[in-house]
Amino acid sequence: MIVWLLLFVVFTASLGGTFLLRRYALAKSLIDIPNERSSHVIPTPRGGGVAIVIAFLVTIPLLATLNLLSTAALFGLFGSGLIVALIGFADDHGHIAARWRLLGHFLAAAWAIFWLGGIHEVNFFGVAVQLGWLGTIWTALYLVWMLNLYNFMDGIDALASAQAICVCVSICIVYWLGGETDLIWAPLVLAAAVLGFLCWNFPPAKIFMGDAGSGFLGVVLASLSVQSAAQTTEFLWSWLILMGVFIVDATFTLMCRLMTGHKVYEAHRSHAYQKAAMKFGRHGVVTFSVIAINVFWLLPIAVLSVGSDYGSIYLILAYAPLIWLAFRFKAGSDRV
């Protein structure tokens, strides 16, 4: 009972915190001004994701006190999330050079790996592959890519928020079916924190998440997946399946822009979700479509992958139509 009350408090704190941050952003002129690369047309305050950060980081020590989160997970999630959020907060207030942001991101990844461990074994097509020290490198790259791609995918109203909630609630269902109910509490707290922010970010958005919030969500979601992989490698495939919309769109777009000679660090509007928003003219259509994909396609496949030695095959099945959609919307191309 106390945990469910705690979730309500987290939601309320995030809801109220976003309201205060909106007033702060307006007072400090922290406004996203639309330009030719923007997907919005109205100047909108940014930085509301800090409410998610505070609500989550204040709550997880309480989970540890209630023996609902391990000490290692507490330190891993808290430290990596705080580092990324501080970098994003500073960047929201004044530009930080990309090389320094990247250095900070790898520092956050190293901190997470120190406490949570790396991914050292993966089951490919029913065969367990020992990655050894390469697993640590792969885990670091995975964490850094996830936090950056979440930033890239936070470009239209409510998309990043809705995706985080879908992933968190879905993985809790997967954990429950897989008999690992002790892992559900941190994702539920994160979902409650994001839901409070979503009330302000729902189309038309009254405030944007900002780099502090989007990067934080990316690194925390990735860290939670690393934590679950320490329990059993099959859950890693479930996480990758559930995060498929963002992983496929961002990775497909990056690879296409690399192959066509674009500077990948330059701002652009060529992700599949951005092309879809331009095509349909409404952010809500794209956001609700992503929710539908998560609920009716990715979640059932993630559930089927539980207990299977062939998670990689389920991943291919889940990603195939997502790759087709990215190709269909010309992701990575400047052509409409």
pLDDT digits (tens, 9 = 90+) for 65-122: 999 999 999 999 999 999 999 999 998 887 788 889 999 999 999 999 999 998 888 8
Strands 121-124 and 44-45: unpaired
Cis peptide bond N-terminal to 61, omega within 30: no
Distance CA 40, CA 231 (A): 42
CB environment 299-333: b (16+ within 10 A), e (fewer): bebbbbbbeeebbbebbeebbeebbebbeebebbe
Query: Nearest CA to 141 among 164, 172, 110, 116?
Result: 110
At 39 the pLDDT is 66
Strands 127-130 and 121-124: antiparallel
Range of the domain at 240: 2-328
* Contact between 306 and 232 (Cβ < 8 Å): no
Query: Nearest CA to 216 among 120, 114, 112, 63?
Result: 112
Read off φ and ψ for residue 94, nearest 5 degrees: -175, 135
Residue 26 forms part of a structural domain: yes
Distance CA 286, CA 284 (A): 5
Distance CA 65, CA 151 (A): 32
At 335 the pLDDT is 72
**What is the identity of the amino acid at 73?**
A
Query: Nearest CA to 159 among 252, 58, 271?
Result: 271
Say what the alpha-carbon torsion angle 6, 75, 55, 161 is, to the nearest 10 degrees.
-110
At 116 the pLDDT is 95
Residue 336 forms part of a structural domain: no
100 Cβ contact partners less than 8 Å away, ≥ 6 residues apart: none
* Contact between 77 and 224 (Cβ < 8 Å): yes
Residue 46 forms part of a structural domain: yes
Distance CA 96, CA 104 (A): 11
Ranges of residues in the chain with a pLDDT under 70 are 34-41, 264-265, 336
Distance CA 147, CA 188 (A): 19
**Cβ neighbour number for residue 4 with a 10 Å cutoff:** 10
Distance CA 306, CA 235 (A): 7
Distance CA 273, CA 158 (A): 12
Distance CA 201, CA 157 (A): 6
Distance CA 293, CA 297 (A): 5
At 214 the pLDDT is 96
Residue 334 forms part of a structural domain: no
At 333 the pLDDT is 86
What six digits make up the tokens of 20?
């205060």
Distance CA 243, CA 249 (A): 10
Query: Nearest CA to 299 among 139, 124, 175, 153?
Result: 175
Residue 224 forms part of a structural domain: yes
Total tally of structural domains belonging to the chain: 1
At 104 the pLDDT is 97
Residue 185 forms part of a structural domain: yes
- The sign of the CA dihedral 199, 205, 28, 108 is positive
